[in-house]
A = this chain, B = another copy of it.
Amino acid sequence: MSLFVHKYGGTSMGSIERIQNVAKRVAKWHAEGHQVVVVPSAMSGETNRLLGLAKELSETPDPREVDMLASTGEQASSALLAMALLAQGVPARSYTGWQVPVKTDSAFGKARITSIDDQRVRADLDAGKVVIVTGFQGIDPDGHITTLGRGGSDTSAVAMAAALKADECLIFTDVDGVYTTDPRVVPEARRMNVVSFEEMLEMASLGSKVLQIRSVEFAGKYKVPVRVLSSLTDPLISLEEEKNSGTLITFEEDSKMEAAVVSGIAFSRDEAKITLLGVPDKPGVAFAILGPVADANIDIDMIIQNQSVDGTTDFSFTVNRNDFKRTLDVIQKTIVPNTGAREVITDEKVCKVSIVGIGMRSHAGVASLMFRTLAEEGVNIQMISTSEIKTSVLIQDKYMELAVRALHKAFGLDGNPAETAVEE
């Protein structure tokens, strides 16, 4: 007997019929003697509906009350899934985050899980029940309901798997795995059978939206094997087949069959670039610029500081496009007065393209192949940033598809599209 955590996204839970299909799939695992904990998202559209109501009342609704509101979506879908399982004769029980409890900090809207008490869930599992735990939510030290932010159900599932020391956390979604890049951009993209945790972390952080990045971090911290697989297959396909489908995110590099230097091409359109010209080149200037931005709770991605000329320097950084206007506010109100920057230049029409691969650690010349490939396509590189297992460039966003396709080919990732097409 093994213990599995299943996570089903909003699309998989999107209608009564789909919930019944999820129940069938879960029942199949249960019937073969496995213990199963299911973490469902809200029915697709429900969270947006609720947040839309909140927006009608206030441009900036109170975060505590938003969490109170938004958390109802998962509570409802969890109860419905329990009913669907019971209707199929499978003993089941649903719990909210606070009932488990899943304890979090008090950062409403983006809370972090601090601990999970597994007693209640384990008792029900031991009694033969399927246990359903609402994703996306928890309870803070003062007893307020918190949510983990968009995509937080992935994190909930991985955290439950960690708390229960599950054999595997299965993330059922509307794609059948993790691809070498987005198949909508590159039809030749291939599904990976295995991907390392580090690569997945870079891919997720770089805009491959299969998994919420915090769920990958969590998986890394607690060494939870995570499998991304399709919820769109026949729910009654054989357990053996299902167990080996999708993409396994692993921590054992040896198990990685494909020793490609570069495993995938990630990209993100949600970039905006800001450059401050003529800031004094003295100690503390980076903090004077980035401190106020961080204080405004805006994440900064790439950062470049140019060579100093005449005692001043140019300083560029990128933020998520959604945070662009707020960032400019902070710059005009605080940073320009504080630093005496001469000019602010912005560009919202940029994107980031990255090559990711554990093999890069031990292979020279990987970045230069990237730069040569882009040069051959006439793509100008605006910023470069590197880590041990990835190299990212910022380019004009109109070149994005071209760049991704060219890199996918250059690094030998193209496969047979007929075999690996994404199902939706």
Contacts and interface: CB of A to CB of B under 8 A. Distances in A.
Contacts of A215: none
Interface in A36-83: 50, 53-54, 56-58, 61-62, 64-66, 68-69, 71-73, 75-76, 78-80, 82-83
A130 interface: no
Contact of A62 (B75, B82, B96, B145): B82
A80 B93 contact: no
Tell me what chain A mostly uses at the interface: helix, strand, loop, or mixed. helix
Interface in A78-114: 78-80, 82-84, 86-87, 93-94, 96, 98-99
Contact of A53 (B58, B64, B80, B98): B80
Given A72-B76, A76-B72, A83 B65 contact: yes
A94 B72 contact: no
A153 interface: no
Contact of A68 (B16, B71, B82): B82
Interface in A1-35: 16, 19-20
B61 A83 contact: yes
A20 B79 CA distance: 30
A5 to B, nearest CB: 20
Contacts of A75: 68-69, 71-72, 75
Contacts of A99: 143-145
B86 A79 contact: no
Contacts of A98: 98
A68 B94 CA distance: 8
A94 B65 contact: yes
Nearest to A101: B143
A318 to B, nearest CB: 33
A62 B50 contact: no
Given A53-B80, A143-B99, A87 B68 contact: no
Nearest to A87: B58
Given A65-B86, A68-B94, A72-B75, A80 B58 contact: no
A80 B99 CA distance: 23
Q: List the number of copies, as a whole number.
A: 2
Of A57, A96, A98, most B-chain CB atoms within 10 Å: A57
Contacts of A54: 79-80, 83
A65 B53 contact: no
A296 B144 CA distance: 39
A65 to B, nearest CB: 4
Contacts of A58: 83-84, 86-87
B76 A69 contact: yes
Contacts of A87: 57-58, 61
Nearest to A70: B79
Nearest to A120: B143
B94 A80 contact: no
Contacts of A86: 58, 61-62, 65
Nearest to A139: B99
A76 B94 contact: no
A79 B84 contact: no
Contacts of A143: 99
A198 to B, nearest CB: 39
Nearest to A76: B72
Nearest to A73: B72
A118 to B, nearest CB: 15
Nearest to A84: B57
A88 B84 CA distance: 42
A143 B100 CA distance: 10
Given A69-B80, A96-B145, 18 more contacts: A16-B56, A53-B76, A54-B79, A54-B83, A57-B87, A58-B86, A61-B87, A65-B79, A65-B80, A65-B93, A65-B94, A66-B79, A68-B78, A68-B94, A72-B73, A72-B76, A99-B143, A99-B145
14 contacts: A16-B57, A20-B57, A50-B76, A65-B93, A68-B75, A68-B79, A68-B82, A69-B75, A69-B79, A69-B83, A71-B75, A72-B75, A99-B143, A99-B144
